[in-house]
Structure formats: structure tokens, C-alpha cells
Structure 1
């Protein structure tokens, strides 16, 4: 089993960091060798990640699910999959949280996770995991800092009926994920409004 505990400092506000870290397409853009695949109706999506362990390059494919708590800036990721040759299977789980940093306008990303492996390559991968995780964390941190520092693109309202279909799998997944988050946020707001109405009714 591989255990991962990381704390990443980012010189951007928590709101901006959460916006990036909770968007699968943005996260993938920060990870070398990672690609997104199809999204599924249950909210999960496919992904691949190519990792080099010494002289061996292994490409893993997985089904990934995210559970996000927007208000708390917390999330949990779960994934199951294996390498392309069927030699190794894995299951992974991780929690992540964005908090205020040590200085105003900065943030910390806290991550704890475990990866369980079984198969022919399990021992080889576990033996080299420390070096690989350190390298990937450094690369991810550098890219995350760059992405969070980019200005947020202005958006304009476009009627759904005439909105153009995003081109390419990455753009389609980004649009699908944004729509999913918007629906969840609207549902929470509606639930809050209903609760307030009930409370007011009880006081009358």
C-alpha cells in the first residue's frame, strides 16, 4: 500500500484555488502524463495516467469519482483501475481540502490518500513510489501555482438552445462538469430557501 500526505502552499486566495482544484480538467492540465476520457451519468469519469518507475513506463486507466463539499472547500476522490497489460490492479482514495494560507491572499491544499495495489508490478511500483510521488507533487505544485495565477476568463450568458457544443473531449468534460456543479449549487440554494420559508411559517 502507498500512503500519501501532502501540503501544498499556493500564493492565491482559497476561492480561486478551490475553483481549480475541484475542476477535473484543470487538475489534469497540471499533471504530466494524465488525460481525461469519457464522463458518465453517475458523475464519474474515465482517466489515464502514465508514470515512469525507473526504466519502466506504466500507463494506468481508471474510473474516477469525485464528491465535493463546496461550502467547506473539501472533496474526496476515489478511483479503480489497472495498467494496460492487466498485470496490476489498484484502488485509491484521497481527501483534499483548501484552507487559508499563512499570509493574506494565500492558500494551503491538504491531501491525504492511500493506493492499494495487487498484481505483478505491485512490489516494483511500491518500492519506487516515494521518489515518484515527490517528483509528481513538485511538478503539480508548479503547474497549480501557474494556473491559479491566471486571470479568470469573463463569461457571458448564452441561451442553451443556441450555445455551441464544446469541441474536443477536454472542453466537453469541462462544460459537463461546470453544468453539474451549477445544478448542485442551485439545488442547495433551493433547499436553503425552502428551509427559510418553513422557518418563517413556523414563527407566524
Structure 2
């Protein structure tokens, strides 16, 4: 089985090189990977669950790095055992090239051989499964290295109405009639004496609307009668 390809990764070449040698990054990127452990300066051990067609198995593999050229690339060689499902062995050349500032082009050339029951499934199924796993690996690998999206800053000058917009979640202040009148007078800069005169005039107008002799009796009579009724109510309530 031969497979070649390339991927454009939005990250500096040094960072891509470090990620390719980081067991935690590899474990997160390899489909079905259960663990990746470094066993030496240039060697790893991994455990991966693989499903090919109707068959599935867990592979335990050992990988050795050679021809290491940081941060340009290296050669991978290894072998994995999947029990009754068979085995896989082979190698791959991986190269990193700086395509642009902050952009790396990763190319790979894989040569592998499978045996056991896997080989009986047919080369087309094995090749398509391997390509699918490779695509998933590079998608996850590139996403892990991609910088987080930057939200555009809100331009206040471009939106002059921003200062007049109510802030979401801010408490709403409810004012009574007296508070509203007081705020309006303060905003207009009215002197204290003018506000007092205005209040006195409003009270005088209110008194003018009251009849002088309701039902033919003086207003003093009605005020005294109301006071007497109030006193009697208190006596009945608390007596």
C-alpha cells in the first residue's frame, strides 16, 4: 500500500515540528487512539482501535524515528500487531517546508504492508480506510495548531448611536412623578425659589377647585366632621 499527500497547516514550522514529537498532540489527532507513550528519544509506543469494513481490532504498535532533521522532517518506521486481524508494517517520509510566514506545508510518502485477515478484505478497502484515517488525523492535527479566531473590535466611531444604546442587563430605574419633576427642574437649571413658587401656585389652583360651601355648609364644618369620624373609628378599632 502506497499513499502520498500534503497538508497546509496554519502554524510556524517550528511549532508543527514540536507537535509531531508531542505524544499528547499525537494521541488527540490519531483516530481511535487510546494511548501514545514515548519510549525513547526517537521511539514511541501506541495503542489504537481500528475498524476496516466488518472487522475491528486493537493494534499495539512501536514506531522508530530516523533521519531526524529538526525542523525539516524525519523518517518513520514501525510495526503494529492486531491479533487475529493481522499485522501492519511499513514506513513514511515526513517533510516540513515553510510556505509563508506562519504557514507550513507538510508532505508525506507512506509505504506499508498488511497481512493476516486484513489482507483478505481487499486492497481497495484497506487503502480507502487508510486514506480516511490519514485525512482525519491531519484535520485534527491542523485544528489543534490553528490560532483561535479573533473577534472584530466594535468601532464606536463607525456607529455613532452606540453611546445612546441601552446596555443589555443594566437595571431599569423607575421614577415616580415627584422624582421626574425634580429631575426635569434640575436639568433645566431652574432656581430653588422658582420651583417653590411653582409648587405654591399649583396648590392654590387645587384649592380653587374645591367648593366653598359643599351642600350649603361651610368647608370648616366638613373638615371638623371628618376629623370626628376618624377619632371614633380609632376608638372602635382599639377600644
| TM-score over 0.5 (shorter chain) | yes
Say which one has the larger Rg: 2
More helix by share: 2
> RMSD over aligned Cα, in angstroms?
2.4
Q: Distance in 2 between matches of 1:80 and 1:109?
A: 23
Which structure is richer in relative contact order (CA contacts within 8 A, separation 6 or more)? 1
Aligned pair count reads: 148
Matches within 5 A, 1:146-161: 146-149=143-146
- Aligned CA distance change for structure 1 residues 126 and 32 (closer, same or farther; 3 Å): same
Q: 2:129 aligns with which of 120, 129, 132?
A: 132
Matches within 5 A, 1:165-176: none
**Aligned-pair distance for 1:125?**
5.8
Residue by residue over 1:143-176, the C-alpha shift from the partner in whole angstroms, topping out at 9 and shown as x without a partner, is 112221258xxxxxxxxxxxxxxxxxxxxxxxxx
If the length of structure 1 is used for normalisation, what is the TM-score?
0.63
Residues 81 and 91 in structure 1, CA contact (< 8 A), matched pair in contact too: yes
Q: Does 1:96 align with 2:94?
A: yes
Q: Does 1:123 align with 2:103?
A: no
Residues 9 and 106 in structure 1, CA contact (< 8 A), matched pair in contact too: yes
Aligned residue in 2 for 1:107: 104
Aligned residue in 2 for 1:18: 17
**Aligned-pair distance for 1:30?**
0.6
- Unaligned 5+ segments in structure 2 are 149-239
**Aligned-pair distance for 1:112?**
0.7
If the length of structure 2 is used for normalisation, what is the TM-score?
0.54
Secondary structure of the residue aligned to 1:12 is coil
Secondary structure of the residue aligned to 2:35 is strand
**Aligned-pair distance for 1:39?**
4.3
Aligned residue in 2 for 1:76: 75
Residues 6 and 106 in structure 2, CA contact (< 8 A), matched pair in contact too: yes
Aligned residue in 2 for 1:53: 52
More strand by share: 1
Q: Distance in 2 between matches of 1:120 and 1:146?
A: 34
